[in-house]
């Protein structure tokens, strides 16, 4: 007989949609102006101020933002782009979609971020860009990113999870040439779907704005704009942006809640046998979009958690295990991917969201302990 109530299921995440967000969305709907306009510009301005970026450009998703950034930086067929193996496939697919080749390198088993030495070993004459991932909100080392840029490689940071993360008191993304964030429902700030690009390069920002709007630009002295470059439609509507604007107003609170929950999890797991906590980048402040631990027999543990009413998920994917990246000349795997394979087999994302109670956290920890014990006992008797 189960000793928990189905109504008490603990979700992996829960979007922080406030009454203010609902009111902002309704105001847009009632205005009759639904496409990208003043509300999206307000979101961009708030994002730029929060991160300290010179420019912020809203797009339809983090994936399309990565594609747009690569395109506007002139990266495509004949160029090589280096990405980490342990990441969501979109990181590599963005470069492949533009005709570039992709070199995949391993990650550190401690941080699960791109292994610096693996990058240096893999870089070649055709390497034009690197897309490192600040995974789960764990910031990248800014000094390392500076060294990559000094070697002539553009850095496009996949900062999908990293709003609020910092390295040496600088927001995630500022040490890259360009960084792209996600506003998917699992992220700290969500617009349902959406992405945000930040850069310190004003000329690049202008190109991004034009290219995401069919290549259109205003022409001085002309009553109409002109189409001056290849482009597409990646505009983010005011309807979606309204949710983001309202959440920006409470973002410090949302981040603070996540940090406190993560600190409490860390304290509860520190001495738990069978649980390994990933390392935060030295000098970094984690954004805690995801709280992940590493455990043996991860899939069996995850199944038991779900059966007990605790939602859990794998961390992310190992590209060398996905069919789309195998057997093609446009993808090269450099190294044995031991760190990535280990992360893929053991990393487990646990519930974390604003409004989560200590009682819910205690139950997650209790159920994880129970699942670990059961799986260990099953393995011993097999």
pLDDT 10s digits, 216-259 = 998 888 889 999 999 999 999 999 999 999 999 999 999 999 99
**DSSP states of 211-272:** HTBTTEE--TT-SS-EE-S---B-PPPHHHHHHHHHHHTTHHHHHHHHHHHHHHHHHHHTT-
pLDDT digits (tens, 9 = 90+) for 293-346: 999 999 999 999 999 999 999 999 999 999 999 989 999 999 999 999 999 999
DSSP strands (E only) in 97-252:
101-105, 127-130, 154-158, 166-167, 170-171, 178-182, 195-199, 216-217, 226-227
In which band, very low, low, confident or very high, does the pLDDT at 5 lie, cut at 50, 70 and 90? low
Which CATH code, of 3.40.50.300, 3.40.50.150, 3.90.1150.10, 3.40.640.10, is assigned to 1-382?
Answer: 3.40.640.10
Token pair, residue 222, equals: 């002309």
The pLDDT value given to residue 349? 98
Q: Go through 336-358 and write b for each residue having 16 or more CB atoms within 10 A of its CB, e for each that does not.
A: ebebbbbbbbbbbbbbbbbebee
Residue 380 pLDDT exceeds 70: no
pLDDT digits (tens, 9 = 90+) for 53-102: 999 999 999 999 999 999 999 999 999 999 999 999 999 999 999 999 99
In which band, very low, low, confident or very high, does the pLDDT at 4 lie, cut at 50, 70 and 90? very low
Residue 335: left (phi > 0), alpha (psi -120 to 50), or beta? left
- pTM for this predicted structure: 0.95
Do β-strands 127-130 and 291-294 pair in parallel, antiparallel, or remain unpaired? unpaired
% of the chain with per-residue pLDDT over 90: 93
């Amino acid at each position: 007989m189960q000793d928990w109530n189905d109504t008490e299921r603990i979700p992996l995440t829960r979007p922080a949609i406030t009454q203010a967000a609902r009111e902002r969305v309704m105001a847009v709907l009632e205005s009759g102006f639904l496409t990208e306009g003043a509300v999206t510009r307000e979101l961009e301005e708030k994002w730029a101020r929060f991160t300290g970026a010179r420019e912020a450009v809203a797009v339809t998703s983090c994936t399309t933002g990565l594609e747009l950034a690569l395109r506007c930086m002139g990266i495509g067929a004949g160029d090589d782009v280096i990405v980490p193996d342990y990441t969501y496939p979109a990181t590599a697919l963005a470069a492949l979609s533009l005709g570039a080749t992709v070199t995949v390198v391993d990650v550190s088993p401690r941080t699960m971020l791109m292994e610096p030495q693996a990058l240096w070993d893999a870089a070649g004459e055709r390497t034009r860009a690197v897309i490192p991932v600040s995974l789960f909100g764990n910031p990248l080392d800014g000094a390392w990113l500076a060294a990559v840029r000094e070697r002539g490689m553009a850095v496009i940071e996949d900062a999908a999870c990293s709003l609020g993360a910092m390295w040496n008191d600088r927001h995630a993304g500022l040490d890259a040439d360009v960084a792209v964030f996600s506003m998917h429902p699992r992220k700290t700030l969500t617009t349902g779907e959406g992405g945000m690009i930040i850069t310190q390069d004003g000329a690049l920002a202008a190109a991004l704005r034009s290219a995401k709007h069919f290549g259109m630009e205003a022409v001085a002295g002309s009553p109409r704009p002109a189409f001056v470059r290849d482009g597409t439609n990646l505009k983010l509507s005011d309807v979606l942006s309204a949710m983001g604007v309202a959440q920006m107003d409470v973002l410090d609170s949302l981040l603070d809640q996540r940090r406190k929950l993560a600190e409490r999890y860390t304290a509860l797991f520190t001495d738990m046998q069978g649980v390994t906590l990933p390392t935060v980048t030295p000098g970094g402040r984690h954004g805690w979009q995801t709280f992940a631990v590493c455990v043996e027999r991860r899939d069996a543990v995850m199944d038991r958690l779900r059966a007990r009413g605790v939602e859990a998920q794998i961390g992310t994917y190992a590209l060398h295990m996905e069919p789309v990246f195998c057997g093609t000349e446009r993808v090269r795997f450099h190294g044995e991917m031991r760190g990535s394979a280990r992360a893929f087999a053991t990393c487990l994302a646990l519930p974390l969201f604003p409004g989560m109670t200590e009682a819910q956290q205690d139950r997650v920890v209790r159920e994880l302990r129970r699942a670990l014990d059961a799986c260990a006992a099953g393995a011993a008797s097999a």
